[in-house]
Amino acid sequence: MTDHPSAADRSDHLPARHPRTSHDARPVHPAAWWLWSLSLGTAATRTTNPLLLALLVATSAYVVQASRPHTPWSRSYSAFVKLAVTVLLVRLVFAVALGSPIPGTHTLVTLPEVPLPRWAQGIRIGGDLTAEALLFALYDGLKLATLLVCVGAANALASPTRLLKTLPGALYETGVAVVVALTFAPHLIADVHRLRAARRLRGRPDRGLRGLLQVGLPVLEGALERSVALAAAMDARGYGRTADLPAALRRTTTALTLGGLLGVCAGTYGLLTAEGGTYGVPVLLAGVAAALAGLWLGGRRSPRTRYRPDTWNARSCLVAASGTAVAALLTAAAASDPAALHPGVVPLVAPVLPLGPAAAVLLGLLPAFLAPAKPPRHKEQPS
């Protein structure tokens, strides 16, 4: 299972006679990667221990480094890391500038306090900065930053476009629309760069806010035109073809979907009201089942098939399991030993690494050995 895919790689250069050889190195299902990453993120929300959080970040970074594919999306990890650092810094700046409700005795510096009018009571700008408040903000910010890094790992390991492609047939077309919308942003940014460069050719400054505003209209015009061109191309390539279905089947689909949604509403209502305790759960379940059946039947309206669909194989199971295990174990640890996972800041103590939870986090490294990335088949070439 951990075989290196180089043999399969080479076979790809052969003509179509052995089309199945490269199936051996089937990639891990994108949903498994997202489950793994989001589980790590869940684990991060269970603790404020900076050592555990750092271990979580290191785990995700190692797996990303080992398993990410060679696509432009996989570079998004560094962007998320930068975002996480920014969030952490912003959290600290706020703690420094606005003070903190944490009572502390170790004053580091005393900033000049801005006198505020009476109605702004409870808000403080400046004043004493205590080590406890700073540490609390650091732990808190680190938790958020770790969560962001985990989302970044999900993006890098399996791009959201790949995830959207695994949607059921009835939702596929919507998925494609979302994918196209996702590629829209990079194009828009490229357009802004090009048009700002063109401003320089006209002898106008290419920097500054005014320059950005003046290219706004042409950029939007260009984006609109490209969207229309893309829509035409997609239509000409068969996007939105529907299969002819008997009228009875279509009516059944509609009835199931609508009935299912109504059932979900009624069931939820039943669950939330006091007297509906008896019928709530069964109605909700029936509604969900009917809606899913409607979705499945609706998928038959679209004749589309999948090219090399991502399959949920044993490796995907293990990847997903390793992530879920980390989340479950840390949740359990947070319940049984809250002190170790939430080191106190008042009084000021150094955080200790609890061995059990740390070992649990290390379980998350499993995918790095299960699904190492394929080596790039060729060098990057200039475009």
Partner 1 sequence: MIRFENVSVTYDGAADPTVRGVDLTIPEGELVLLAGPSGAGKSTLLGTVSGLVPHFTGGTLRGRVTVDGRDTRTHKPRELADVVGTVGQDPLSHFVTDTVEEELAYGMESLGLAPAVMRRRVEETLDLLGLADLRDRPIATLSGGQQQRVAIGSVLTPHPRVLVLDEPTSALDPAAAEEVLAVLLRLVHDLGTTVLLAEHRLERVLQYADQVALLPAPGAAPVLGDPADLMAVSPVYPPVVDLGRLAGWSPLPLTVRDARRRAGALRERLRDRTPPAGREAPEVPAPLPRPPAVHRWRRRRADPAAAAPAAVAEVRSLAVRRGRVQALRRVGLTVAPGETVALMGRNGAGKSTLLGTLVGLVEPSAGTVRVGGAVPHRTAPRELVRRVGLVPQEPRDLLYADTVAAECAAADRDADAEPGTCRALVSELLPGIADDVHPRDLSEGQRLTLALAVVLTARPPLLLLDEPTRGLDYAAKARLVVVLRELASAGHAIVLATHDVELAAELAHRVVLLAEGEVIADGPTPEVVVSSPSYAPQVTKILAPQPWLTVAQVREALR
Residues in Cβ contact with 285 at an 8 Å cutoff, skipping those fewer than 6 apart: 267
Q: Dig out the tokens for 137 from the structure.
A: 């903000």
For residues 252 and 23, give the distance between their C-alpha atoms in angstroms, rounded to a whole number. Answer: 38
The angle formed by the CA atoms of residues 126, 130 and 135, to the nearest 5 degrees, is: 115
Containing H/E element for 142? Answer: helix 131-157
Segment interacting with partner 1 (CB under 8 A) among 69-77, 125-133, 139-147, 332-340: 69-77
Q: Which residues pair with 127 in a beta bridge?
A: 111
The distance of closest approach from Cβ of residue 298 to partner 1 in the complex, given in angstroms and rounded to an integer, is 15
ω before 347 within 30° of 0 (cis)?
yes
- DSSP, residue by residue, 312-352: --HHHHHHHHHHHHHHHHHHHHHHH-HHHHS--TTTT----
Select 128 or 206, whichever has its Cβ closest to partner 1. 206
**233 lies in the binding site for partner 1 (CB under 8 A):** yes
Residues in Cβ contact with 376 at an 8 Å cutoff, skipping those fewer than 6 apart: 70
Segment interacting with partner 1 (CB under 8 A) among 34-42, 215-223, 318-326, 364-372: 215-223
**Residue 345 DSSP label:** T
> How far is the CA of 352 from the CAs of 49, 186, 361, in angstroms?
8, 44, 15
Select 246 or 382, whichever has its Cβ closest to partner 1. 382
Binding test (CB under 8 A) with partner 1, winner from 70, 82, 210, 251 = 70
The site string for partner 1 over 184-203 (x = CB under 8 A, - otherwise) reads: ----------xx-xxxxxxx
Q: Are 166 and 310 in contact (CB under 8 A)?
A: yes
Binding test (CB under 8 A) with partner 1, winner from 303, 338, 344, 356 = 303
Binding test (CB under 8 A) with partner 1, winner from 209, 237, 275, 278 = 237
For residues 155 and 132, give the distance between their C-alpha atoms in angstroms, rounded to a whole number. Answer: 35
Neighbouring CB atoms inside 10 A of 257's CB total 19
- The number of residues that bind partner 1 (CB under 8 A) is 57
Select 282 or 303, whichever has its Cβ closest to partner 1. 303
Select 186 or 338, whichever has its Cβ closest to partner 1. 186
Binding test (CB under 8 A) with partner 1, winner from 229, 265, 285, 339 = 229
Radius of gyration (C-alpha) of the chain in whole angstroms: 27
Select 62 or 73, whichever has its Cβ closest to partner 1. 73
The distance of closest approach from Cβ of residue 380 to partner 1 in the complex, given in angstroms and rounded to an integer, is 6
The distance of closest approach from Cβ of residue 207 to partner 1 in the complex, given in angstroms and rounded to an integer, is 10
Please, what sign has the CA dihedral across residues 223, 184, 144, 142?
Answer: negative
Report the candidate in 248, 328, 377, 382 with the shortest Cα–Cα distance to residue 46: 328
CA 110 remoteness from chain centre: 40
Classify 296 as helix, strand or coil.
helix
Select 123 or 232, whichever has its Cβ closest to partner 1. 232
The distance of closest approach from Cβ of residue 244 to partner 1 in the complex, given in angstroms and rounded to an integer, is 11
The distance of closest approach from Cβ of residue 241 to partner 1 in the complex, given in angstroms and rounded to an integer, is 5
The distance of closest approach from Cβ of residue 25 to partner 1 in the complex, given in angstroms and rounded to an integer, is 12
Residues in Cβ contact with 355 at an 8 Å cutoff, skipping those fewer than 6 apart: none
- DSSP, residue by residue, 239-303: TT------HHHHHHHHHHHHHHHHHHHHHHHHHHSSGGGTTHHHHHHHHHHHHHHHHHHHHTTS-
**213 lies in the binding site for partner 1 (CB under 8 A):** no
Select 75 or 82, whichever has its Cβ closest to partner 1. 75
Select 278 or 305, whichever has its Cβ closest to partner 1. 305
The site string for partner 1 over 238-267 (x = CB under 8 A, - otherwise) reads: xxxx-x------------------------
The distance of closest approach from Cβ of residue 65 to partner 1 in the complex, given in angstroms and rounded to an integer, is 18
The distance of closest approach from Cβ of residue 262 to partner 1 in the complex, given in angstroms and rounded to an integer, is 32
For residues 368 and 66, give the distance between their C-alpha atoms in angstroms, rounded to a whole number. Answer: 6
The site string for partner 1 over 98-137 (x = CB under 8 A, - otherwise) reads: ----------------------------------------
Which positions lie near partner 1, rule CB under 8 A?
Answer: 12-13, 15-16, 19, 70-72, 161, 176, 179-180, 183, 194-195, 197-206, 214-215, 217-218, 226, 229-241, 243, 303-309, 377-378, 380-383
